Amino acid sequence: MSAPILSARGLKKSYGGVRALRGMDIDLAEGEIHGLCGENGAGKSTLVKILGGFVMPDEGELGIGGMRVTLGTPVDPALLSIVHQELSIIPHLSVLDNVMLGAREVGALYRRGPFRAHVREVLDSVGLAHVPLDALADTLPLAERQLIEIARGIARGARVLLLDEPTATLSDGEIEKVFAVLRRLKAEKGTTIVIISHRLNEIFALTDRVTVLRSGQHVMTANTADLTNARLVEAMIGHEIHTGEIAPSHARNGVSPRLSLRGWTLPGRFAPLDLDVQPGQIVSLVGQLGSGADTLLESLVGLHPARGTLSLDGAASTPRTVAEAYAAGIAYVSEDRAKRGVFLEAPIGTNLVSQILGRVSRRGWMMPATVRARAAELARGFALDPARLPHDVSTLSGGNQQKVSLGKAAALGPRLLALNEPTRGVDIGARAEIYDQLRSLAKAEGLTILFYSTDLEEVLDASDRIVTFYRGTRVRDALRPDMDADAILHDILHGPDTPDTEAAA
């Protein structure tokens, strides 16, 4: 290997008593795509932030392009730029301004003209050709905001580009476009790219080499071609896990359906739909952006004014607000974790009970012992460290924040759980734990789960039944054993084989 473009030695970082990194070394070769893998909280984001100078390490050295850099001061964005795990889109700025945010070319006076063509080109390349430069960022769905974030990283033209879970909210079509851009950057400009992802198929599809971290330490670096899925998983979590098997369904057939939709529609978003779901069934709604699948999920908790009838266990209860939905026994987990899913600046324990305050209080007075007991119980169920309950959610790694978001909705003890991107950013060990937890709820309490996910592997791993959508209409509704990845992809990308049903949206 020639001299590495980036080389870090002995990086250490502690937050209070939490040792995020305990002496981490990494070398990046010029023009490679390097994957970073590891469990939630392994220290991946911390490492990336240190490399970019956003976090000051306690110890260590860093060289970029053969020069020692001062730790803890942001590195020149033309040399190295980062796409952070948490979105940093400014909602009331335009798409153009968001992409140019912090660019060095922008002088003291910001004249947008010269940048338009370049930004347009970058946006087109990541699949945002349909988004106008002057659109306000907060009018865009989460996936598109994520793509803008990626476009910002690309537009800098940095020699080293670090992407922290850039694909977590994207669906396969979008991911392919992003990957194509990354491959082109590598081939044409010799850009060095680091990518963090919990979706191992992405790591295999894209990277040249992989580094695995565990508990803040380097475990291994290997050529991707020499690795197998099982070896990578073992390096990450220390043991093997089995995926891809069809889990047993806990659907209770022959009883009356838990959820019934009749003529359920939101004009312009999804066409009238009838749907029956059995107690204990785990159903995934799959579709691309604009397919209406996610909107349908949100409409179940009153986030959209859908028409038609919704009955739970035979009783009509069409919720108009989230509070009504929760009272009726329908819980919801948002895909936008930081903004709507959790209270980042409040303790983990408080978050976990935040939706059941009425039950952990008596006549308006909180019952501290009950609060602690409930929080500890939920923490155990969702693989969170009970010792950290008094700490703020913001001190958790991204994946563990997601578990808080799930735990707080499950606390309601709902009859129907609507999950939007249930394991976004969760590592594969914890993901298996979460599915186990959801399945045991489905089995023991007959909890019915509907979820929307852009992660095909998750859809195949977690569901009993899969419903595919294309442009606002249902394409297929089948049990898991009758579906495979190809069938799903075909449905969501091309719609039904008979072309006449397409017009409905």
Provide the binding-site residues for Mg ion, judged by CB under 5 A.
45, 85, 398
Residue closer to another protein by CB (options 96, 378) is: 378
Please state, as a whole number, how many other Cβ atoms lie within 10 Å of the Cβ of residue 104.
9
Helix-, strand-, coil-residue percentages of the chain, each rounded to 5: 35, 25, 40
Residue closer to ligand ATP by CB (options 217, 229) is: 217
46: contact with ligand ATP by CB under 6 A? yes
In the complex, minimum distance from the CB of residue 168 to Mg ion, in angstroms, rounded to a whole number: 10
* # chain residues binding ligand ATP, by CB under 6 A: 20
| Rounded Cα–Cα distance for residues 374 and 100 (Å) | 46
19: contact with another protein by CB under 8 A? yes
Among 232, 396, 442, 466, binds ligand ATP (CB under 6 A): 396
317: contact with another protein by CB under 8 A? no
Among 229, 243, 361, 501, binds another protein (CB under 8 A): 361
Number of residue whose CB is nearest Mg ion: 45
224: contact with another protein by CB under 8 A? no
300: contact with another protein by CB under 8 A? no
Cβ burial 145-176 (10 Å sphere, 16+ → b, else e): bbbbbbbbbbbbbbbbbbbbbbbbbbbbebbe
355: contact with another protein by CB under 8 A? yes
Helix 142-155 crosses helix 113-125 at what angle (to 10 degrees)?
120
Q: Helix, strand or coil for residue 344?
A: coil
| Rounded Cα–Cα distance for residues 466 and 232 (Å) | 29
Stretch that binds ligand ATP, among 33-41, 355-363, 403-411, 480-488 (CB under 6 A): 33-41
| Rounded Cα–Cα distance for residues 207 and 47 (Å) | 18
Residue 46 interacting partner from ligand ATP, another protein, Mg ion, none (CB closer than 5 to 8 Å by kind) = ligand ATP
Write phi, then psi, for 351 (nearest 5 degrees).
Answer: -60, -45
- Angle at 176 (CA atoms; ends 133, 1), nearest 5 degrees: 110
Query: For residues 154-173, which are near another protein according to CB under 8 A?
Result: none
* Structure tokens that stand for 355 in this block: 């939706």
Q: Where are the alpha helices (H) located in 126-171, listed in sequence order?
A: 142-155
Among 343, 445, 479, 496, binds another protein (CB under 8 A): 343
**CB-based burial label for 332 (10 Å; 0-12, 13-18, 19+):** buried
List residues binding another protein (CB under 8 A). 16-20, 39-42, 55, 214-216, 321-323, 325-326, 332, 334, 339-346, 350, 354-355, 357-358, 361, 364-366, 383-385, 387-388, 390, 392, 397, 400, 403, 408, 430
List residues binding ligand ATP (CB under 6 A). 15, 18, 20, 38, 40-46, 85, 395-400, 425, 427
